């Protein structure tokens, strides 16, 4: 984990290498009901958040992230997320449950998989145990990313246009139908990929939930260019 952190971030000794692996099935929108164009405004995503410290403050850092929508890819780059195109799928919940749709009930299983470059990079599964009674238990650290825009001009390759640590600032966060259970994650070793370097020594709790939030602000924490 320490090797993936950029300058300005440090491992959190109290976290002992803790990280979150997240599968999302998103629908997003601006202010003009863009959600009514689902072909453009739906996407799926997988990413990893590492526990770290910024000047002693507990934060999360995203070293790897995959999406299946080019608009989400570009938007993520403006936030410092190093997004790549991939193929992401996860078990969905529907109000009408059946053999192909697990219920929100103890013992139900929800899985997620991510592939890129013709290789399956990770698969995870959550086995539900009980509803989350205290939503504060799902509180996440602030996400700090490395916003980096390089220059291709000769003589400027080591002088990026932008190279700074930024903090995402979400608001109006809502969480519903949250269940906690047992989590498992397996990132197989793949040629040309580094995700498996973060293979878990031990898997902890898994969560299945629905979430909504607004993000329209980005705070610069530290400029890393001279």
- Express each pLDDT in 203-218 by its tens digit: 999 999 999 999 999 9
d(CA 28, CA 179): 23
d(CA 196, CA 48): 11
User: In the structure, what pLDDT confidence band is assigned to residue 137 with cuts at 50, 70 and 90?
Assistant: confident
- Sorted by sequence, the CB contacts under 8 Å of residue 176 that are 6+ apart come out as 209, 210, 211
Q: What is the pLDDT of residues 158-193, one digit of tens each?
A: 999 999 999 999 999 999 999 999 999 999 999 999
Q: How far apart, in Å, are the Cα atoms of 97 and each of 115, 215, 216?
A: 27, 32, 35
User: Is the pLDDT assigned to residue 226 strictly greater than 80?
Assistant: no
Helices (H), the chain: 38-41, 70-78
Identify whether the C-beta of residue 46 lies closer than 8 Å to the C-beta of residue 26.
Answer: no
d(CA 71, CA 43): 9
Paired with 182 in beta bridges are 127, 205
Neighbour-count burial for 39-77, b at 16+ CB within 10 Å, e otherwise: eebebbbbbbbbbbbbeeeebbbbbbbbbbbeebbeebe
SS3 (DSSP) at 49 = strand
Domain ranges of the chain: 2-145+178-214
> What CATH number should be reported for the domain whose range is 2-145+178-214?
2.40.400.10
- What DSSP string runs through 138-173? G--PPEEEEEEE---STT-TTS-SEEEEEEEEEEEE
User: Is the pLDDT assigned to residue 223 strictly greater than 90?
Assistant: yes
Give pLDDT, residue 211: 94
Q: What is the pLDDT of residues 72-112, one digit of tens each?
A: 999 999 999 999 999 999 999 999 998 888 999 999 999 99
Q: Give this prediction's pTM.
A: 0.94
Q: What is the pLDDT of residues 40-76, one digit of tens each?
A: 999 999 999 999 999 999 999 999 999 999 999 999 9
Strand pairing category for 83-85 and 65-67: parallel
């Amino acid at each position: 984990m320490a090797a993936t952190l950029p300058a300005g971030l440090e491992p959190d000794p109290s976290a002992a290498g803790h990280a979150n692996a997240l599968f999302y099935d998103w629908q997003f929108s601006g202010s003009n009901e863009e959600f009514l164009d689902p072909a453009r405004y739906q996407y799926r995503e997988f990413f990893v958040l590492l526990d770290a410290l910024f000047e002693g403050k507990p934060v999360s850092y995203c070293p790897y992230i995959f999406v299946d929508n080019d608009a989400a890819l570009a938007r993520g780059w403006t936030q410092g997320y190093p997004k790549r195109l991939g193929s992401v799928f996860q078990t969905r919940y529907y109000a009408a449950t059946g053999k192909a749709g697990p219920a929100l009930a103890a013992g139900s299983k929800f899985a997620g998989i991510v592939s890129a470059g013709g290789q399956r990079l990770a698969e995870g599964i959550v086995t539900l145990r009980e509803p989350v009674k205290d939503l504060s238990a799902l509180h996440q650290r602030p996400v700090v990313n490395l916003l980096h825009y390089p220059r291709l001009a000769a003589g400027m390759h080591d002088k990026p246009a932008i190279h700074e640590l930024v903090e995402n600032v979400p608001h109006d966060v809502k969480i519903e139908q949250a269940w906690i259970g047992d989590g498992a994650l397996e990132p197989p070793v793949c040629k040309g990929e580094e995700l498996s370097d973060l293979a878990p020594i031990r898997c902890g709790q898994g969560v299945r939930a629905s979430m909504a939030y607004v993000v329209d602000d980005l705070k610069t924490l530290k400029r890393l260019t001279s």
